Structure 1
Amino acid sequence: MNTTQTVPPTDVAPAPATGPAASAAGPGARAWWVLGVLCFVYVLNFLDRQLLSILAKPIQDDLHISDGQLGLITGLYFALFYTLIALPVGWFADKTNRVKVLSFACFIWSAATIACGLSRTFPQLVAARMTVGVGEAGGVPPSYAIISDYFPSGTRGRALGIYNMGPPIGMAMGVAFGASIADAYSWRDAFVSVGVIGVLVALVVFFFVREPKRGGLDIKKDEAPAPASTVPAEGFWSTCRMFFNRPVLLLISLGSGATQFVTYAVLNFTTLFLMREKGMTLSEVAVYYALLIGICVSAGMYASGRLVDWLGKRSKTAYAYVPAVGLTLAVPFFAGFVWAPSWPLALAFLAIPTGLNYFYLSPAVALVQEEVKPNQRVLSGALLLLVMNLIGLGFGPTYLGMASDFFRVSHPDNSLQLAFYTLIPFYFLAVALFLGLARALRREAAEAEGAV
């Protein structure tokens, strides 16, 4: 049963960029400033998350861990905490101040990143890594909802596309910054430096980002706005049932999860693959791979966000066809990357799928935020992350690391290459799920028209 919860006035500050009038006029300067701050938090979120895979080789040399152990610590161990903690955090954030939840989460994962750099044994690194996952669970879902309450429908695809450039920027900065520090000093110094920056940014979010009014930009012109002090509180389980009972939301989550199975597996092992089997040095990784990640993934995120804003006005099936077409085009180039006998040729092939692999994320986030009630957005975003990260982040790197250990017995010099080839069928699984999503979207549209 739904209830009404009174929110303290301090939790809802008047934001110039929100309200029906702002919806008609478009997002204001404050909305873009908040988007920039949240994007930088996401940069740190992903930078902290990816440092371990970027610095995999020096960490392996220091702590003597296998590819399988690396896959577990960057995959399943991290994902279990990251995805499961995100649900209660999302539910709590839907009922309270989302900005404060975000700032506290940023502080936790940044402090845990410092602990990763201070770890002296594999179990210590596992514990610190899991704590990073706990903190990062409160990062993305509140940000999705905050952005959706600063930007009106029709501009959210672009705004979320810009926000989702945080991962590629974080990846690129992690490769360039982390690899450079590790090359000049040590991998431990890279973790400590990034963690200290995150603690400072958490304070900026807490003191300088305003909490927007929930659903303020979703009110139609002929409707009177609801009082800002009241927010209808949706139940935790009712939101979960709604999410998993709707084929559209379930299919976008499964399609994204299958895609992330590939993207996280590739992301978490590419640096190690390039260094160990393609002959790159850490200093070369810091320049060339950093540029590739920063440019290509950012282009994919932004282009897909703009495409769904444009094509989605004609048909919601764009949310399915944009990622399906992107993944289909990526397959031959990905195979070329794995096959390439030298790292320059490998990077040339990798540039194309690095952009196309990320055509799924902006459409997925935008569709979920459009399809649920304003006071269900954080938890629904957390449920989306639960499905796609448990499948992708949890099992992608874990699978690839174990596959590499398996092939190393018979092919010690190119075990990762063989393991990478086995990811190709997962591309086609993801495409099939997105095509199923397109059918579900057409069916919902037909039912809506029949009900009019």
Structure 2
Amino acid sequence: MAVCTAAYVFSFVDRQILSLMIEPIKRDLHLTDTQFSLLSGLAFSLLYSFMGLPIAILADRRSRPLIISIGVAFWSLATAVSGLSKGFVHMFLARIGVGVGEAALSPSAYSMFSDMFPKNKLGRAYGTYSLGSFIGGAAAFVIGGYVINLLKSVDTVALPLVGEVRSWQVTFLIVGLPGLLLALLVFLTVRDPDRKGLKRDTDGGVQKVALRNVFAFLWGHRKTFASHYLGFSFYALVLLGMMAWTPAFYIRAFGLTPTQAGYLLGVVVLLANGSGVLFGGWLIDMLARRGHPDAAMRAGVIGALGMVVPVIAFTQVGVLWVSLVLLVLAMFFASFPMPASTAAMQVLSPNQMRAQVSAIFLLISNLIGLALGTTLVALVTDRVFGNPKMVGSSLSIVYGLASVLTIVLLGTGCRHFRRSLALEKRDAEAVKGIPAREEGAAR
């Protein structure tokens, strides 16, 4: 679990490092806010989302550590290649490569953890793993800020075999190449746990699960998964959007340098998001111990309720420390969905399709959260306000609406989730030969 969490740290360093360097990248590659949002959102999420499903099919059938190892090596090389970009198209293709590699990690890790931990500890397990994303996000801000400050008086750096590159390009190389060593560590140290909770036929044999079976399972619980997938996707839109656009907001609204913004936001992400994701995991397990079968969904609703006001307000105050206090609150509650969304899927889904169910969620979540969320802010800034300094108002509008949608969708989803759990339990008892409860009682 520690090695997988370390891989998650590296994935978010490589994913998040782009947002801190928005101004020098825009300047050197001659980009608009909308084009930059495509690099940070659509380029990454495009194949990250769609490659997740075929990779997840492999993860439900083959060695999950091997799949993770290959993914880590691929995204690390793609991150380093981002540092060699000479234009928008080059950078776009490199970011697609980062997304393809990272698509291998979470579905495989989620599936392994469900075989390693009992259900009453899954919330904390996923919370601990998810902590890696915020350690990585914080590290990206701090490392990026340090390198930018180190090379602030240097226009170009001469590198062997590469030639002259800008300081932001050096940053990509620094954070990308060490991932190759991590890929080797995953391959050498992580063992695939025995698969537990396999769904069986009436004769006791393990069911063969094809992709059509996964979609049939989702359709059988369509109200539950519609609420889950869409609710947590809008939740992700808020979290990932703030991670992408908050540096630009503080640089433009309060005149911070990239280095100052990097150090400041690194601390915020590490403390606020890190404590939020651990608290969210603990809350899920606490609610489960108190007899709430919809504990994961319920924790998501609580987080969204706590998030909605500060996420709107932190860009609308003119005092830096007040804005930061509100940002800390917003980031704390915005971290709840990471363990909550995962725990809900793994508890409900049969073993043979857990990675695939997760991959479909990540496909939808990232298309909405990354591709749509980051681009909507840019479009409102560019097309509605026509002023880059109004990015704060764009954040309040887009993420305020997304927070309200999250509350509505997850709130209605709790009831559907309880019903789905009852139906799955009834079916499992019937297969084992235990007299099934009447449908009304199960509901």
**Into which bin does the TM-score normalised by the smaller protein fall?**
0.7 to 0.9
SS in 2 for 1:75: helix
* Match among 200, 211, 215 for residue 181 of structure 2: 200
Aligned to 1:106: 72
Separation (CA, whole Å) in 2 of partners of 1:231 and 1:275: 56
Separation (CA, whole Å) in 2 of partners of 1:45 and 1:380: 21
Q: Which has the larger displacement, 265-274 or 442-451?
A: 442-451
Separation (CA, whole Å) in 2 of partners of 1:45 and 1:125: 17
Tell whether the 8 Å contact from 2:21 to 2:144 is kept in structure 1 after alignment.
yes
Measure how far apart 1:231 and its partner are. Answer: 6.7
Separation (CA, whole Å) in 1 of partners of 2:286 and 2:371: 33
Separation (CA, whole Å) in 2 of partners of 1:413 and 1:74: 17
After superposition, the Cα gap between the structure-2 partners of 1:342 and 1:59, relative to the gap in structure 1 and judged at 3 Å, is farther
Measure how far apart 1:209 and its partner are. Answer: 0.8
Measure how far apart 1:381 and its partner are. Answer: 1.3
After superposition, the Cα gap between the structure-2 partners of 1:245 and 1:297, relative to the gap in structure 1 and judged at 3 Å, is same
* Match among 212, 227, 239 for residue 251 of structure 1: 227
SS in 2 for 1:120: coil
* Aligned alpha-carbon RMSD (Å): 1.9
Aligned to 1:373: 350
Measure how far apart 1:421 and its partner are. Answer: 2.1
Aligned to 2:191: 210
Separation (CA, whole Å) in 1 of partners of 2:367 and 2:379: 17
Aligned to 1:354: 331
For 1:353, give the aligned amino acid.
A
SS in 1 for 2:336: coil
Measure how far apart 1:232 and its partner are. Answer: 4.8
Aligned to 1:22: none
* Match among 6, 10, 30 for residue 64 of structure 1: 30
Tell whether the 8 Å contact from 1:71 to 1:402 is kept in structure 2 after alignment.
no
For 2:184, give the aligned amino acid.
L
Aligned to 1:142: 108
SS in 2 for 1:211: coil
Q: Which has the larger displacement, 243-252 or 294-303?
A: 243-252
Tell whether the 8 Å contact from 1:179 to 1:283 is kept in structure 2 after alignment.
yes
Pair 1:240-2:215 in alignment? yes
* Match among 203, 228, 246 for residue 270 of structure 1: 246
Aligned to 2:18: 52
* Match among 426, 432, 441 for residue 417 of structure 2: 441
After superposition, the Cα gap between the structure-2 partners of 1:421 and 1:197, relative to the gap in structure 1 and judged at 3 Å, is same
Aligned to 2:131: 165
Tell me the percent identity: 29
Pair 1:303-2:279 in alignment? yes
- The 5 A counterparts of 1:338-353 are 338-353=315-330
After TM superposition, which residue ranges in structure 1, 4 or more long, deviate above 3 angstroms?
A: 230-233, 442-452
Tell whether the 8 Å contact from 1:87 to 1:382 is kept in structure 2 after alignment.
yes
Aligned to 1:388: 365
Q: Which has the larger displacement, 323-332 or 194-203?
A: 323-332
Measure how far apart 1:408 and its partner are. Answer: 4.1
Tell whether the 8 Å contact from 2:284 to 2:340 is kept in structure 1 after alignment.
yes
Separation (CA, whole Å) in 2 of partners of 1:219 and 1:123: 45
* Residue-by-residue CA offset, 1:346-404 (whole Å, 9 max, x unaligned): 21210001010121221110111111111211111111211211111121001111111
SS in 1 for 2:269: helix
* Residue-by-residue CA offset, 1:104-162 (whole Å, 9 max, x unaligned): 00000000000001111111101101111111111111011111122122111111110
SS in 2 for 1:155: helix
Separation (CA, whole Å) in 2 of partners of 1:450 and 1:175: 55
Measure how far apart 1:277 and its partner are. Answer: 1.8
TM-score by length of 2: 0.87
Aligned to 1:283: 259
SS in 1 for 2:193: coil
After superposition, the Cα gap between the structure-2 partners of 1:45 and 1:445, relative to the gap in structure 1 and judged at 3 Å, is closer
Measure how far apart 1:39 and its partner are. Answer: 0.4
* Residue-by-residue CA offset, 1:69-109 (whole Å, 9 max, x unaligned): 11111112221211001000000121111110000000000
- The 5 A counterparts of 1:77-96 are 77-96=43-62
After superposition, the Cα gap between the structure-2 partners of 1:442 and 1:344, relative to the gap in structure 1 and judged at 3 Å, is same
Measure how far apart 1:407 and its partner are. Answer: 3.4
- The 5 A counterparts of 1:8-19 are none
Aligned to 2:163: none
Measure how far apart 1:236 and its partner are. Answer: 1.5
Measure how far apart 1:163 and its partner are. Answer: 0.3
Number of paired residues? Answer: 406
Point out where structure 1 has 5 or more consecutive residues left out of the alignment. 1-34, 221-225
Separation (CA, whole Å) in 2 of partners of 1:269 and 1:238: 39
Separation (CA, whole Å) in 1 of partners of 2:133 and 2:216: 30
After superposition, the Cα gap between the structure-2 partners of 1:413 and 1:376, relative to the gap in structure 1 and judged at 3 Å, is closer
